[in-house]
Amino acid sequence: MSEPFVLQRSGDQRWLVHPPQDPYGDGYVYTIATELHELGMTASTVAKVDGLHAPLDTTLPGFVKSLAADWEGWSGTRTWTSMERELVIDARHDGRGHVSLGVTFRAPGPDRDDTAWSARAVFVLEAGEELSRFAGDLTHFLRT
């Protein structure tokens, strides 16, 4: 598997997630190279994420699956964060059938005063079938 997972919207807005790598060979920590493209902006980072041995509810696949399971809505913002905050995903349900999925990249390493670079794009998904397909595809991509 060498092709990235791609979430694409109108124009050049897209989020690419490259195949997970197991840098230590033990299945506990994976790295994923990821890119954001929107309106001439391009950003990339490598995020450390939980591996196959982590409880599903703490992982990115578990997070997106929970969004799809609650497709009818929730209040507030739900957030998932990679191990070192390089990748943050947040989701809001508008109560009218759409979910705004925010993808934020941050500079790797310590950022005690929160002044390092960041990049963000927001993708709007239909809360039913489109969100379920996204969650299923991303889960399959990250778990294989």
**Would the pLDDT of 15 be above 60?**
yes
- Condensed to tens digits (0 to 9), the pLDDT of residues 95-104 reads 999 999 999 9
108-125 mean pLDDT: 87
Q: Report which of 53, 76, 71 is spatially closest to residue 136, judged by C-alpha positions.
A: 71
The pLDDT assigned to 67 comes to 97
Q: Could you tell me the pLDDT band of residue 132, with boundaries at 50, 70 and 90?
A: very high
Residue 20 pLDDT: 95
Beta-bridged to residue 50, according to DSSP, are 29
- Torsion 62-67-69-75 (CA) sign: positive
- pLDDT at position 72, please? 96
Say if residues 58 and 80 touch (Cβ distance below 8 Å): no
CA–CA gap between residue 65 and residue 136 (Å, rounded): 7
Report the percent of the chain where pLDDT is more than 70.
99
Residue 9 has pLDDT above 80, yes or no: yes
pLDDT digits (tens, 9 = 90+) for 36-47: 999 999 999 999
Rounded to a whole number, what is the largest CA-CA distance in the chain? 44
pLDDT at 127: 97
Q: Yes or no: say if 46 and 32 are a contact pair by the CB < 8 Å rule.
A: yes
The pLDDT confidence band at residue 22, using thresholds 50, 70 and 90, is very high
Residue 26: which pLDDT band, with cuts at 50, 70 and 90?
A: very high
* H runs (alpha helix) in 18-143: 60-69, 129-143
